[in-house]
């Protein structure tokens, strides 16, 4: 498997290569499989209006555009290429429990990529929502659908460039790996974010106050400094918390791939699945104890 950074840099050259239409269509066809299968599994879990599901998927697809524009700009403005700047920091290694070390540049670049990708998926969910979501279930599921739209386009590009650059064998390896692992990874990141998004908008005011009392000192200080209403700060706090969790999980996944730790991807995603499943159960506990409702709390 080619490294993540190698493929990302290859994507920046899409404006300067002659596209093989046949291979691009085949890549499109193969990318449909993981998007449909994973989408069907989660749609069956919690059926939602097909029109809104389709709209959310399309929003996820469109959320890739700013990232493509950014990567395409590297050809005209090389200074914007984050990978070029990160190389200067690769001589600095960050050690973890004296077991292994990772170049600082690798950590920073994938945190940066994670921020962009997860924020764009968040933006897609936010644009589709417009008070249409009715529960935490909705927030989780539609976040997952948006992530499938994003990964659908990402898979098309990966399949195409790996096929063109690496050949048939690597193409099929990439298809299997990305269909099972990378696509589910996007589901995990966005599903975790969706939980926090749901908590932000469906928490009962009493439960909000319970969380507010347990805030860290910095958040309390920020609230006093900005004089933001508690409800508004709570919403933003939960959404930012969800984004940070998604970004961190995303960065760790990419770093594992970059440094060749593919053997830890399976247990990493299994643990992620168990945590996501726990959050689904925890959501049910919130409903049972009256902590959340089907009516959105005020955002203003």
For 34-71, the pLDDT digits (tens) are 999 999 988 887 778 889 999 999 999 999 998 888 88
- The model's confidence at residue 89, banded by pLDDT at 50, 70 and 90, is confident
Mention every residue, 6+ apart, whose C-beta is less than 8 A from residue 115: 243, 247
pLDDT for residue 259 is more than 80: no
- The model's confidence at residue 107, banded by pLDDT at 50, 70 and 90, is confident
User: What mean pLDDT is predicted for residues 128-157?
Assistant: 89
d(CA 186, CA 180): 11
- The model's confidence at residue 98, banded by pLDDT at 50, 70 and 90, is low
d(CA 60, CA 97): 38
User: What mean pLDDT is predicted for residues 175-202?
Assistant: 91
User: pLDDT at position 184, please?
Assistant: 94
User: pLDDT at position 136, please?
Assistant: 82
Cβ-count burial 167-199 (b if 16+ within 10 Å, e if not) = eeeebeebbebbbbbbbbbbbbbbbbbbbbbbb
Percent of the chain with pLDDT over 90: 31
8-17, 41-50, 89-98, 139-148: least confidently modelled range: 8-17
Beta strands in 183-279 (DSSP E): none
Percent of the chain with pLDDT over 70: 74
Report which DSSP code applies to 94: E
User: pLDDT at position 66, please?
Assistant: 87
- Summarised one tens digit per residue, pLDDT across range 192-232 is 999 989 888 876 654 555 555 555 555 555 555 554 455 56
CA-only gyration radius of the chain, Å: 20
Q: State the DSSP string of 76-89.
A: T-GGG-HHHHHGGG
User: pLDDT at position 155, please?
Assistant: 94
d(CA 50, CA 31): 20
User: pLDDT at position 48, please?
Assistant: 82
d(CA 42, CA 132): 19
User: pLDDT at position 219, please?
Assistant: 55
Q: Which residue has the higher pLDDT, 239 or 3?
A: 239
Tokens 């395409």 map to which residue?
A: 72
| Residue 257 CB-density burial (10 A; 0-12 exposed, 13-18 middle, 19+ buried) | buried
- The model's confidence at residue 143, banded by pLDDT at 50, 70 and 90, is very high
Tokens 């540049």 map to which residue?
A: 105
Tokens 């805030």 map to which residue?
A: 215
Nearest to 197 by CA among 288, 296, 56, 265: 296
């Amino acid at each position: 498997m080619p490294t993540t950074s190698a493929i990302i840099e290859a994507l920046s050259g899409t404006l300067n290569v002659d596209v093989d239409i046949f291979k691009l269509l085949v890549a499109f066809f193969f990318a449909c499989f993981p998007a449909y299968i994973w989408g069907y599994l989660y749609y069956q879990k919690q059926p939602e209006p097909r029109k809104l599901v389709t709209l959310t998927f399309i929003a996820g697809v469109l959320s890739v555009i700013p990232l493509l524009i950014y990567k395409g700009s590297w050809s005209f403005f090389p200074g914007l290429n984050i990978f070029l700047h990160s190389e200067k920091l690769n001589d600095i290694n960050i050690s973890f429990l004296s077991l292994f070390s990772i170049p600082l540049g690798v950590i920073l670049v994938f945190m940066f990529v994670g921020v962009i990708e997860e924020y764009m998926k968040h933006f897609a969910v936010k644009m589709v929502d417009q008070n249409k979501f009715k529960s935490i279930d909705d927030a989780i599921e539609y976040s997952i659908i948006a992530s499938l739209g994003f990964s659908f386009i990402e898979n098309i590009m990966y399949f195409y460039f790996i096929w063109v650059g690496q050949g048939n064998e690597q193409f099929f390896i990439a298809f299997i790996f990305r269909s099972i692992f990378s696509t589910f990874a996007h589901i995990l990141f966005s599903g975790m974010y969706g939980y926090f998004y749901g908590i932000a908008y469906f928490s009962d005011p009493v439960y909000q106050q319970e969380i507010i009392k347990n805030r860290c000192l910095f958040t309390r200080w920020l609230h006093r400094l900005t004089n933001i209403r508690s409800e508004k700060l709570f919403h933003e706090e939960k959404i930012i918390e969800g984004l940070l969790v998604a970004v961190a999980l995303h960065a760790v996944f990419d770093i594992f791939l970059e440094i060749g730790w593919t053997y830890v991807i399976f247990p990493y995603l299994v643990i992620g699945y168990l945590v996501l499943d726990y959050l689904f159960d925890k959501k049910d506990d919130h409903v049972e104890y009256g902590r959340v409702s089907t009516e959105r709390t005020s955002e203003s």
